[in-house]
Amino acid sequence: MIHSLTLSDVLAEHARSRPRETAAVDGDVRLTYPELDTRVSRLADALSALGVAPGERVLWLGQNSHAVLELLLACSRLGAVFCPANWRQSADELLFVVEDLTPRVVVWEPSEATTAARRAGPATAAWVRAGEEYERLLAGGVAREFAQVADTEPVLALYTAAFGGRPSAALLSSAALVAHSTSLLVVRQMEPGFTFLSSGPLFHVGTMMFCLATLQIGGVNVFTPAFDAEEVCRLVDTERVTQAFLFGPMIDAMLAVRPRGKYDLSSLRFVSHSEEWDELITVDDSPWCRSKMGGYGQTEVGGMLTFLGLAPGASGFAGRPSPLVQVRILGPGGAEVPVGEVGEICARGKSLFSGYFARPDLNADKFAYGWYHTGDLGRREPDGTITFIGPRLRMIKSGAENVYPAEVERALRSHPAVADAAVIGVPDERWHQAVKAVVVLGSGAEATAEELIGHVKGLLASYKKPREVVFADAIPRRGPAPDYDALDRAHGGGNYPGS
């Protein structure tokens, strides 16, 4: 255990090394590191009293909050696993998560979907309402000592990878998360005092990874429930935020609220976007930031596997691997393919996940030949850099979200009028891609496009619903799978990730 360093240990050290520094800001809540450490101990004790033993799961169904970080750290202190689930999901999707993860405790914010999931979910979980009930639970716990936990134990579960029609929870250990945070500290040259605003959702690894790297260096984590352009401007100003989770449309929305003069955004060290934006912020033109955090990643590798910043002037636009991993481009039999040839991007290393929760067969497939198989195709260029080609199986990228055609097709096929369905991504100016469905109705059955879109919306998170539905006589197939290339040609598909 002498070499173990859990997230809980990181916090315990900061409580001693940074007794006066701010750890978390969320609305009226401001916590120093010692205050956060004490709250996490109380919370761990209270969760333990609710039956959260090592290896048990705690589920969060709500928007961003400092409670997300507290619950993660309390689970780390106990050796338990914390899962912040996508609160934008439908009741059906949330119910799947509750039944799949079998949490001992669910902390939830009431909404139509969470209320429905609570009503239908198994009676084995204790449901605790976020806010006052959560505070009462925490206040009832005692800040005591806890047994040392091995940092190889899983601590964070993030649902992803719905290629098979239903998502799976990727389990990340403290060792993997600490290693990934450290790789971000190296590549982004994060310094003490770094202040991160969780303006993206914390159930998304892209936001969570910066929240954790900020914790690692003893910086300040600022939480906001969800992206609101004016509130983000206000928080950047008042908290002197160094970085936030932002991409194109979010930046445009911030510019639309005209912060100039009203909000001082100069603390934001961010990539160049437009003349107007660049005048408001501090453009970070270091070779590291100029990369726009470019690279290649996914939840299962802890966030980023490769960084463009490690390969200035690179041929391969995914850059080079993080200093804490190895990457191999492997053929179907597990042999490395030659430079310049396409194979599956595979990896080993310190930041990799421990497998999916309760998916032994999938795990055996994904870890074949002693390498983690990302499911993505790539190529090693002659200069050693890596090019990401695209998912081995089809995926649509809408906004920052992954949409798995299989999952939307499964929802469409559950409608009584639908005989068959296939889903493609079509170019979209604002969101990069939009979801488009090609549907074959059953003999004599009738349904409108609106009806089918509403049906999917009732089952899945809203961003997964088709923007458009077209009807066809048959879905072209290549083997058992839809012939997506033919569908793209016939229905205007394109802009897929990596293309």
Residues that bind its own copies (CB under 8 A): 1-5, 9-10, 12-13, 16-20, 148, 152, 175-176, 178, 181-183, 185-186, 189-192, 216-218, 287-288, 310-312, 320-321, 323-328, 339, 348-350, 352, 367, 370-372, 380, 382-386
Min dist CB 208 to its own copies, Å, is 18
Min dist CB 282 to its own copies, Å, is 16
Residues 440 and 418: beta-carbon distance below 8 Å: yes
Min dist CB 326 to its own copies, Å, is 5
Q: Among residues 229 and 324, whose Cβ is nearest to its own copies?
A: 324
Tell me the three-class secondary structure of the chain, residue by residue.
CCCCCCHHHHHHHHHHHCCCCEEEEECCEEEEHHHHHHHHHHHHHHHHHCCCCCCCEEEEECCCCHHHHHHHHHHHHHCCEEEEECCCCCHHHHHHHHHHHCCCEEEECCCHHHHHHHHHCCCCCEEEECCHHHHHHHHCCCCCCCCCCCCCCEEEEEEECCCCCCCEEEEEEHHHHHHHHHHHHHHCCCCCCCEEEECCCCCCHHHHHHHHHHHHCCCEEEECCCCCHHHHHHHHHHHCCCEECCCHHHHHHHHHCCCCCCCCCCCCEECCCCHHHHHHCEECCCCCHHHCCCEEEEHHHCEEEEEHHHCCCCCCCCCEECCCEEEEEECCCCCECCCCCEEEEEEEECCCCCCECCCHHHHHHHCHHHCEEEEEEEEECCCCCEEEEEECCCCEEECCEEECHHHHHHHHHCCCCEEEEEEEEEEECCCEEEEEEEEEECCCCCCCHHHHHHHHHHHCCHHHCCCEEEECCCCCEECCEECHHHHHHHHCCCCCCCC
Q: Among residues 190 and 424, whose Cβ is nearest to its own copies?
A: 190
Min dist CB 188 to its own copies, Å, is 10
Compute the CA torsion angle 267, 273, 275, 277 (nearest 10 deg).
-40
Min dist CB 9 to its own copies, Å, is 5
Residues 430 and 413: beta-carbon distance below 8 Å: no
Identity of the amino acid at 24:
A
Min dist CB 172 to its own copies, Å, is 11
> Which tokens sit at 151?
């940092």
Residue with token string 């992803």: 160
Q: Among residues 42 and 328, whose Cβ is nearest to its own copies?
A: 328
Min dist CB 298 to its own copies, Å, is 15
Q: Among residues 184 and 460, whose Cβ is nearest to its own copies?
A: 184
Q: Among residues 287 and 458, whose Cβ is nearest to its own copies?
A: 287
Q: Among residues 335 and 481, whose Cβ is nearest to its own copies?
A: 335
Min dist CB 177 to its own copies, Å, is 12
Q: Among residues 301 and 460, whose Cβ is nearest to its own copies?
A: 301
Q: Among residues 192 and 416, whose Cβ is nearest to its own copies?
A: 192
Min dist CB 16 to its own copies, Å, is 6
Q: Among residues 277 and 388, whose Cβ is nearest to its own copies?
A: 388
Question: How distant, in Å, are the alpha carbons of 188, 245, 262, 264 from that of 237?
Answer: 22, 15, 9, 5
Q: Among residues 223 and 372, whose Cβ is nearest to its own copies?
A: 372
Q: Among residues 326 and 448, whose Cβ is nearest to its own copies?
A: 326
Min dist CB 322 to its own copies, Å, is 10
Q: Among residues 197 and 310, whose Cβ is nearest to its own copies?
A: 310
Min dist CB 18 to its own copies, Å, is 5
Min dist CB 323 to its own copies, Å, is 5
User: What does residue 84 show for φ and ψ, rounded to 5 degrees?
Assistant: -90, 110
Angle of helix 449-459 relative to helix 91-101, nearest 10 degrees?
30
Min dist CB 192 to its own copies, Å, is 6
Residues 316 and 383: beta-carbon distance below 8 Å: yes
Q: Among residues 15 and 58, whose Cβ is nearest to its own copies?
A: 15
